């Protein structure tokens, strides 16, 4: 198939992208550390762009033309924009964008009442 799914995960210190087919088999992957970024530079917009571009080039070499993007992690809206731009620069078309960030249903247990 010519389409796949790009799973992208933003953490506090890194950006990860894995491109899979619809059966779940990984076809290409990249992270900011793999792209040569060190320290706090791994958490930048420029790193997100480079990661997406490297993963997209790897998938395009295998014959992939388009991807559905699934974004996980809410650390910076700007990084998401640069990530999508990187897929286009890498030679892939973005068909869908979906946010799959986990949202807690009832949250953590609140702290005990303060006794004075």
Q: Which range marks the domain in which residue 57 is found?
A: 3-99
69, 20 contact by CB (below 8 A) = no
How many structural domains compose the chain? 1
In this predicted structure, what is the pLDDT of residue 76?
A: 67
- Global pTM value: 0.85
| Orientation angle between helical segments 45-61 and 77-89, nearest 10 degrees | 30
Residue-wise over 55-93: b if at least 16 C-beta within 10 A, else e?
bbbbbbeeebebbebbbebeebeebbebbbbbbeebebe
Q: How far apart are CA 69 and CA 89, in angstroms?
A: 15
> Is residue 104 included in any domain, yes or no?
no
- Give the CATH number for residue 64: 3.30.420.80
The tens digit of pLDDT for each residue in 30-79 reads: 999 999 999 989 988 999 999 999 999 999 999 999 999 999 986 667 88
């Amino acid at each position: 198939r010519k389409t796949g799914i790009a799973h992208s995960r933003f953490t506090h210190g890194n950006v990860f992208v894995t491109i899979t087919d619809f059966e779940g088999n990984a076809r290409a992957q990249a992270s900011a550390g793999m792209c040569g970024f060190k320290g706090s530079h791994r958490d930048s917009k420029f790193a997100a762009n480079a990661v997406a571009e490297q993963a997209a080039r790897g998938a395009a070499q295998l014959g992939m033309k388009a991807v559905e993007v699934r974004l996980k992690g809410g650390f910076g809206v700007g990084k998401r924009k640069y990530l999508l731009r990187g897929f286009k620069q890498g030679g892939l078309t973005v068909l869908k964008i979906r946010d799959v960030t986990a949202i807690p249903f009832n949250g953590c247990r609140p702290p005990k009442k303060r006794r004075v």
